[in-house]
Structure 1
């Protein structure tokens, strides 16, 4: 298995759908909207096994001080191969020099993964509102 990494937005709705659904994420049920949202991100770093999208991290930023990583995910069949580690490394490199790089670890079981790369759980309570689902 040879994994390549790209910082572009060259993926199809079907490719992001397969990736997101492989880990059970709700946004994968809306592949066209998801692809559009990713294309609107400031940064998308993706991992590929040939033509198969196997990992992705995205971020939005203010251009100077703060970046927010929303998605960090690796296809379920590719867990344990260092892909997540490399995606986070590349994300940190991209935003080196920013004052804050924030991400939401919505599953407490993922906190140790992020802590090993220098992230700190702040104890803050993230808040969100989920609007009514639309197709």
Structure 2
């Protein structure tokens, strides 16, 4: 897996941009992975400041962070923790890179599926 990331780092500036982004949209969003922190990649200082703020305004969720304030303050999730379809769910750039890698993995598995029905399910 590390080799895959090294290859990406050598050939794709998008990886560097994603790793410098703190907030990106969830997998279920109309445009998954869109940077929510502005149009330009952040400086290291901006990213560090936002990470400090991250601990006060979110709580870790599977594959990202929940920004719904009631949950952050310790309340129950009103959407039964369906994080990937919730607009209050965001990911870090590192989460986004992992999500892209898993999507590639599922596509490879679907290509080797024994029949089209199984391939459709995997996609």
Structure number with the higher helix fraction is 2
TM-score of the pair, normalised by structure 1 = 0.28
Q: Which has the higher contact order (CA 8 A, sep 6+)?
A: 2
TM-score, normalization by structure 2 = 0.30
Q: Larger % of strand: which? A: 1
Q: Which has the larger radius of gyration?
A: 2
